[in-house]
Amino acid sequence: MFLTGTSRINEKNHLEIGGVDTVELVERVGTPLYVLDEAEIRKRMKEFIASFQAYNIPFQVAYASKALCTKAMCYMAEQEGLSLDVVSGGELFTAIQAGFPSERIHFHGNNKSEKEIEMAIDANIGAFVIDNLYEIELIKEIAGRKEKKVNALIRVTPGIEAHTHEYIQTGQEDSKFGFNLNEPAIAAAKIVQASEQIELNGFHFHIGSQIFDMTGFEKAVERIADFYSIVQYELKTELPILNTGGGFGIRYTNEDNPLSIKNYVDSLLESVKNHFVKRSLNIPEIWIEPGRSIIGEAGITLYKIGSSKDIPNVRKYVAVDGGMMDNPRPALYQAKYEAAIANRMISDESEKVSVAGKACESGDMLIWDIQLNQPQAGDLLAIFSTGAYNYSMSSNYNRIPRPAMVLLNEGNADLIVERETVEDLVQYDRVPERLTVQKNIGIK
C-alpha cells in the first residue's frame, strides 16, 4: 500500500483524501465510487508547466483527455494553463461545452469522421494531428468547402518499440498510427504543403504509454532530428513545432519506479537540444501530451466488499460491487494495483486474498494475491492509482450502471459525474411495434 497526494490515515483509522473521510463519503454517495484528489491533479499540472518554463523555449503542455475526459477536468486544465489533446468528437464536444479555448485544442485519431472534422473546423481548433492520406483529403475537402485554412501536424512512427505492454506500444513501424519514416512521411508532408487548406506546422510522434525508461524517447528524438533535417530540405521550409507525445509512467504498485515529472521533461528537452543543435537545426516549439501522469495517481476507486470464497490450499476470493465494468485494465493489460481496507487502514492482521469483480466473467479480477486487513463483507476497499483510463474505458457490461465521480479538495466533496441508474440503461432501448403486437395477440 502507498499513499499519494493528500491521502492520509485519519484519527478514525479511515482513509482520508482531500480532507474528506472516505468512509463517511460513501455513506452519503454510495459505491462503487471514483474519487479524485484535486490538489494532486493541479500539483502535477503545475509541475509540467514549471519544468518547461526552466528552459528558454516555446512549449505547450496538452492534457491527454482520453485518460479522463470530463468537463471538470477541462476546467482545471484551462485554469492551470494547459492545452488539450482530444481524440474524438465526444471529447471535443466535452471541451467545447466546458468553454475550453479552442485555439489550445489538438485533435488526434487514426480515423476521424467527416462529422468530427467538421465540428473541429467549425470550432476553430488549434491543430489537427493528421494520421493518414485519407484524412488529408477529408480535411482539404471540408476546409475548402467552409473556406477555411487549418493548422496541422503529421503523425509519424519513428520505429521505436517502447518497453511496455504490446497493446499500448504505438511508435513501432507495425502500427495502425501515422506515417512511417522517411519516404511515406515526406510524401504526406509534400501533399499537405501543396494544399491551400492546410498549414503544415510540424510533426508528432508517440512511442507508447506507461514508460519509465527515457532511452526510447531519446532514440526517437534522434531519429526525428534526422528526419527534420531531411524533410525541411525537401520542403525548403522550416517546421516550427515538434510534438513528442506522452506516455510518462506512474506508480501503480510498489514495484513501479517512475521518474519525477521534472526528470521526464529534463531528459526529453536535453535530448531535443542535443540532437537538433548537433544537426544545425533551430530548436522547435515543443508540445507534449501527458494524461496518465497527471490524473493516474490522483484517482482512487472505492468499493463495498460482499461475498467471499475460500478454496483451501489455493486462494481466497473476495468480491466487490464493481469490476471490469469500471476498470477493464486488469483484463485487458494484466494491470496491477495496490489496495487497502479504507475503514481499517492499520491492522495487525493480514490475509492474502484475490479481489474479484461482480461481472459474469471468470476474467473479472481486479487484483490477484494481495495482503489485506482481514476483509469482511461490508468493508470499504480502496484501489489506488485508478484515475487514468478506468472511467474512460468503463462499460455497462451485464447492464451494470457506471459509478459516480467525486472531486475532493480541502474538505469539499463535489459530484462531477452523476451515478448512472438502471433507468439510464434502457433510455435508448426501442421495441419495434410488430413485437408488441405479437406479444398482445399471444404469438408464441
Whats the size of the chain, residue-wise? 444
Give the HSE-up count for residue 149: Cα atoms under 13 Å, Cβ half-sphere: 10
Residue corresponding to grid cell 513545432: 241
- Which residues lie across from 34 on neighbouring strands? 301, 405
Q: Inter-axis angle of helices 133-145 and 114-122, to 10 degrees?
A: 50
Q: Strands, DSSP E only, in 357-395?
A: 365-372, 380-384
Contact 399, 423 (CB under 8 A): no
Measured at the alpha carbon of residue 150, what is the angle toward residues 208 and 159, in degrees to the nearest 5?
Answer: 25
For the question of residue 74 being annotated catalytic, the response is no
311, 314, 346, 360: the active-site residue: 360
Nearest CA among 327, 298, 403 for reference residue 63 = 298
Compute the radius of gyration of the chain from its Cα atoms: 24
- Euclidean distance between CA atoms 287 and 222, whole angstroms: 16
User: 233 in helix, strand or coil?
Assistant: helix
* 3-state per-residue secondary structure call for 262-326: HHHHHHHHHHHHHHHHHCCCCCCEEEECCCHHHHCCCEEEEEEEEEEEEECCCEEEEEECCCCCC
C-alpha–C-alpha distance, residues 199 and 193, integer Å:
7
- Torsions phi, psi for 144 (to 5 deg): -65, -45
For residue 253 the three cell numbers come to 504498485
C-beta pairs of 231-239 under 8 Å, 24+ apart in sequence? 231/182, 231/185, 231/186, 231/189, 231/203, 232/281, 234/186, 234/189, 234/190, 235/189, 235/190, 235/193, 235/200, 237/193, 238/282, 239/200, 239/201, 239/202, 239/203, 239/284
CB 342 within 8 A of CB 22: yes
User: CA–CA distance from 181 to each of 107, 160, 228, 387 (Å)?
Assistant: 22, 11, 11, 34
CB of 403 closer than 8 Å to CB of 34: yes
Cis peptide before 182 (omega within 30 of 0): yes
**Residues annotated as part of the active site:** 360
